[in-house]
Amino acid sequence: MITIKACTIEDVDTLRDISIETFTETFEADNDPAHLAAYLERAYNVPQLRAELANPDSTFFFAMLDGELAGYMKGNANNAQTEAMGEGAFELERIYVRRTFQGSGVGKALYDQAIQRANELNKREIWLGVWEHNEKALAFYKRHGFVQTGSHTFYMGDDAQTDLIMAKPLRP
């Protein structure tokens, strides 16, 4: 059974651990180890994660499968969004599932949580950035009605990469 739990500041160490684990699992095969290490240190250090958890416009959720931590997601509204997409938009910034739980419905449960959160905030659109070479994620988002609306540069350490901006309307 999949359950979703909101993260709090007390969860920062667990959040750091699963963030590093899942990001590494997802991207280590396709990236230079030095660039990956630099990104992990910048994005997932405890002070950075504490600041993100304390931001009232950002929300984190853990997904538990049969009581075991299986994945997490981060959503951003308003000024917490990584791109200026307006007050009517909600950003699904991170959604990661531990490798051993992929294919179990955890990703869909986290995605559904993001949609629920966006609707609770009365947002009209949900959007995200996804690496242009992450075929598995691109297929997932396309299946759920997202379309590419642009792109932006994402830095993995010093390596400039292209993320596709994908969006989906939630209401007219």
* Catalytic residue positions, numbered: 141
Residue the block writes with tokens 């990236």: 31
Residue the block writes with tokens 């180890």: 33
The number of beta carbons lying within 10 Å of the beta carbon of residue 172 is 4
User: Who contacts 156 (Cβ-Cβ below 8 Å, separation ≥6)?
Assistant: 27, 31, 32, 35, 36, 38, 39
Q: Would you say the C-alpha torsion 7, 95, 48, 13 has a positive or negative sign? A: positive
